[in-house]
Structure 1
Amino acid sequence: MEFRHLGRSGLKISEIAYGNWLTHGSQVEEDAAHACVRAALDEGITTFDTADVYAGTRAEAVLGRALEGQRREGLEIFTKVYWPTGPGQNDRGLSRKHIMESIDASLRRLQTDYVDLYQAHRFDYETPLEETLRAFDDVVRQGKALYIGVSEWRAEEIAQALKIADEMGFDRIISSQPQYSMLWRVIEEEVVPLSEKEGIGQIVWSPIAQGVLTGKYKPGQPPPAGSRATDDKGGSDMVSRWLQDDVLTRVQQLEPIAADLGLSMAQLAVAWVLQNPNVSAAIVGASRPEQVRDNVKAAGVTLDADVMKRIDDVIAPVVTRDPGKTASPRKRP
């Protein structure tokens, strides 16, 4: 496993991170989830990403049990706050009330005294940003989180938060967690340049485009049984935008490139996002241990300029770069 600094912070994280959005507590049974976490640990992954909302808070609890007995100092545990976790009007958003209550609940479920990174899961347009940042700063001062990050914030939102933090003496954001893949490159225009300037690292999710870049979805054919496209627990709506014959045909043309490098399609996709120097880690999920072992082989892979050009020549006509300037579809994770 290779390790990278998270932005310009001193925190080092495994460049392959394990995430449990659509698996723990939802898509797979707990024994299988524990087996995937053990496989991740065996392969050298030390960074684990979750969120309070995943599987209605169950994902955090499953991850906490799966990591029980591990040396805490050897792990980097990330979670998030924003989406509703209860029926009340204050069970959502980035108000001080919700942040302070949510961090305590997350720590209980994760069975830990602190998280390494606490992330704002979306931007809250209904709460003053100063209130949100002060609450996050207090979470850090209380030792409940070591660093603060954001997920799916626009460049202008990140810039506004950095300005306020500097003016008020708060801890600065050190990470951004956006969607990023060969097919979805929205962050490249504005988020990445700002982040490079300000010392923010990207922890990217869906580097395999919800499984589409594995090549398992074929043009003109129905999705394989049991795949994310047939999942009714949150995955099918995310993957559906890629299930168009022009996209799938282009993806199939990546297979010879992967084969020439001795990589699987998934490994090529994960390695591709890691070529971006602003990416600190790529999050991979898994419902089976062998998926973890396959994806982790992308760590340390270097794709030379000729390979990157071959990939672009194939995939460029179907790449999404600027869907209305939004960081990503306003959905989970």
Structure 2
Amino acid sequence: MEYRRLGSSGLKVSALSFGSWVTFGKQVDIDLAAEEMKAALDQGVNFFDNAEVYENGQSEIVMGQAIKKLGLVRKDYLVSTKIFWGGSGPNDQGLSRKHILEGTRAALERLQVEYVDLIFCHRPDPETPIEETVRAMHHVIDRGWALYWGTSEWSSEQIRQAWETAHRLGLTPPTMEQPEYNMFHRDRVEVEYAPLYRDFGLGTTIWSPLASGVLTGKYSQGITDGRLTLPGYEWLRKIYESDEGRSRIEKVEKLRPIASDLGASLAQLAIAWTLKNPQVSTVITGASRPEQVTENMKALDILPKLDRGVIDAIEEVLQNRPKEPRNWRNA
């Protein structure tokens, strides 16, 4: 396993990590969760991602019980939560001081830990002043309930405002952002955030490296199983039943020979491609079976094979190179 610093912080995270979105508490019970986490740990994974909204907190409960079942030593793993959607009450959502503090304590209870290593503001909250959110997150850090705080799916301007507010007030600034990043979703990570890497040393814990399973090639013969067929994810299925979605699925098939030449699966190629970007601190993978965990980790073996020729071949298929090229593609 490769370990990367989380932005400019001193924390080291495994280049590949493991997340519970969609699976824990929905497709995966405690026993299977423990098996999957054990498979990840055996491959050197040290970071496990979660959120209060995942299955309405059940995902955190399952992960917490799996951690207890495995008898993990707290110093040997990193765990996260994300705060925004905590319930249906008027103060159970958003980034008010009240919800951040109460949501954090509730997450710690569900996970059965004294602190989380990373805590994220799961979305920006236009109804709460950024200063209130920054002060609340600093309080969470100051109390030791979390070690680092960050954002998820915030714009570069919102992150900059949070960082500058923290700096002005002598408070803890955000360390990391958790954005979507994959072969079909690139501009934010590769272009919009570029000044933040330079100015603040922003770290990234990227999600959906497989574009909700599309980059595995499983939908080339139609959408008959997988995440796109799950109840509650009809919105995602509609995206890939559109003309643009079908175009993406066709491009995946054109990537198949490239993956084959490298001795890789499409999923391993897609994951390795995200790791090629040095601004990616860790790639959050998911799985519904332990075998999938092990297969995803083999992406690390593919990473050294992604030379300029391979990257150019991938770009020829994707045809979505951002207007401002990033140097990492020329590595």
TM over 0.5: yes
Structure 1 partner of 2:308: 305
Aligned residues of 2:259 and 2:266 also touching (Cα < 8 A): yes
Q: Report the 3-state secondary structure (helix = DSSP H, G, I; strand = E; otherwise coil) of the residue aligned with 2:33.
A: helix
Give the match for residue 189 of structure 1. 191
Query: Do the aligned residues in 2 keep the contact of 1:26 with 1:233 (CA within 8 Å)?
Result: no
Task: Confirm or deny that 1:173 pairs with 2:174.
Answer: yes
Q: Which shows bigger deviation, 242-251 or 123-132?
A: 242-251
- Which residue of structure 1 lines up, in the alignment, with residue 215 of structure 2? 213
Report the Cα offset of residue 86 of structure 1.
2.2
| 3-state DSSP of counterpart to 2:287 | coil
Aligned partner of 1:198 in structure 2 is: 200
Q: CA deviation at 1:320?
A: 9.1
Aligned twin of 2:329: none
Q: 1:175-324, aligned counterparts within 5 Å?
A: 175-187=176-188, 188-218=190-220, 221-224=221-224, 226-234=225-233, 236-243=234-241, 244-299=245-300, 301-302=303-304, 303-316=306-319, 319=320
More helix by share: 2
- Residue 298 of structure 1: how far off its partner (Å): 1.3
The unaligned stretches of length 5 or more in structure 1 are: 323-333
Q: Aligned partners of 1:222, 1:305: CA distance in 2, in Å?
A: 33
Equivalent position amino acid for 1:7 in 2: G
- Secondary structure of 2:175 counterpart: strand
Q: Residue in 2 aligned with 1:41?
A: 41
- Between the two proteins, the alignment pairs up a number of residues equal to 315
Q: Give the unaligned 5+ runs of structure 2.
A: 324-331
Which 10-residue stretch deviates more, 69-78 or 296-305? 296-305
1:62 corresponds in structure 2 to 62
**Equivalent residue letter for 2:315:** D
1:66 aligned partner, one-letter code: A
CA–CA distance in structure 2, aligned partners of residues 311 and 222 of structure 1: 23
- Which residue in 1 is equivalent to 2:30? 30
Paired residues of 1:210 and 1:239 also in contact (CA < 8 A): no
CA deviation vs aligned residue, 1:160-190 (integer Å, no higher than 9, x gap): 1111011001111111100000111131221
Distance 1:22 1:320, change over 3 A: farther
Distance in 2, Cα, partners of 1:246 & 1:147: 39
Q: Pick 1 or 2: higher relative contact order, CA cutoff 8 A, min separation 6.
A: 1
CA contact (8 A) 2:229 2:237 kept: no
Q: Does structure 1 conserve the Cα–Cα contact (< 8 Å) formed by 2:180 and 2:207?
A: yes
Q: TM-score, normalization: structure 1?
A: 0.91
**Distance in 2 between the 1:239 and 1:230 partners?**
7
Residues 131-179 of structure 1: per-residue CA shift (max 9 Å, x gap): 1100110111111110011000001100111110110011111111000
Alignment deviations for residues 169-220 of structure 1 (CA, whole Å, 9 cap, x no partner): 11111111000001111312212332343101111100011010111111xx
Q: Which amino acid aligns with 2:115?
A: Y
Q: Is the partner of 1:125 in helix, strand or coil?
A: coil
Paired letter, 1:231: L
What secondary structure does 2:31 align onto?
helix
**Residues 100-115 of structure 1 aligned to structure 2 (within 5 Å):** 100-115=101-116
Distance in structure 2 (CA, Å) of the matches to 1:309 and 1:160:
36
4+ aligned runs moved over 6 Å, structure 1 = none
Q: Distance in 1 between matches of 2:204 and 2:240?
A: 23
Structure 2 match to 1:17: 17
- Give the counterpart letter for 1:261 in structure 2: L
1:260 Cα offset (Å): 1.0
Aligned residue for 1:313, secondary structure, equals helix
CA contact (8 A) 2:29 2:62 kept: no
RMSD: 1.5
| Inter-CA distance 41–197: structure 2 relative to 1 (3 Å threshold) | same
Equivalent position SS for 2:281:
strand
CA offset digits 1:201-244 (Å, max 9, x no partner): 111100011010111111xx4313x311211133x422542343
Deviation for aligned residue 1:321 = 6.2
Return the TM-score normalized by structure 2: 0.92
Name the structure 2 match of 1:138: 139
Moved more, 35-44 or 266-275: 35-44
Whole-Å separation in 2 of the counterparts to 1:299 and 1:239: 29
Contact in 2 for aligned 1:212/1:239 (Cα 8 Å): no
Query: Where do residues 64-143 of structure 1 align in structure 2 (5 Å cutoff)?
Result: 64-68=64-68, 69-83=71-85, 85-143=86-144
SS of residue paired to 1:161: helix
Q: How many Å separate the matches in 2 of 1:5 and 1:265?
A: 27
Could you list the per-position Cα deviations for residues 24-64 of structure 1 after superposition, in whole angstroms to 9, with x for gaps in the alignment? 01133333222211211121111000001100000011111
CA distance in 2, matches of 1:29, 1:137: 34
Say which is worse superposed, 130-139 or 21-30, in terms of deviation: 21-30
Query: Does the CA contact (< 8 Å) of 1:121 and 1:150 recur in 2?
Result: yes
Note if contact 2:21-2:286 (Cα within 8 Å) is conserved in structure 1: yes
Q: Whole-Å Cα distance in 1 between the matches of residues 322 and 180 of structure 2?
A: 12
Shift of 1:265: 0.6
SS in 2 for 1:253: helix
